[in-house]
Amino acid sequence: MLFTSYLIGLVVLAVGVGLKICPPENISNVYGYRTPFAMLNKDVWDEANYFCSNMLIYVGIICLIISALCNIIYKNNIDIASKISTIISVTIIVCSVPSTEIHLRKTFDKYGNKRM
């Protein structure tokens, strides 16, 4: 169970680095940050994947730090440490989607045109 709490942060970090190193070149239903707004056009798509990759890298690092802190604080009860760090990590990951959408809506209008 101890490894699971670190695994979440490592996977999120790896996905973020993967998107950063190999961003999707075309709008795709398979790879990349896929929401209806992000898939409006190539400009929105590129910005969404750029922002999301940065967000995932930061979130992955934060999840790893939270896992380490929980394991230090609850060193006598690894099961509780894993559960707490997993709940906090998943919550942070879920919150990264609205953060990306808010960024896109501030950057582009509803038609996908860049705001001035």
Q: Helix 42-73 and helix 78-107: axis angle, to 10°?
A: 160
CB 89 within 8 A of CB 10: no
CB 62 within 8 A of CB 85: no
Model confidence pLDDT, tens digit, residues 14-68: 999 999 999 998 998 888 999 999 999 999 999 999 999 999 999 999 999 998 9
Model confidence pLDDT, tens digit, residues 70-96: 888 888 888 888 888 889 888 999 999
CB 20 within 8 A of CB 14: no
Instruction: Give me 14's structure tokens.
Output: 């790896």
The reply to whether the predicted model has a pTM over 0.75 is yes
Question: Taking the chain, what is the end-to-end CA distance rounded to the nearest angstrom?
Answer: 49
How far apart (Å, rounded) are the C-alpha atoms in residues 32 and 50?
10
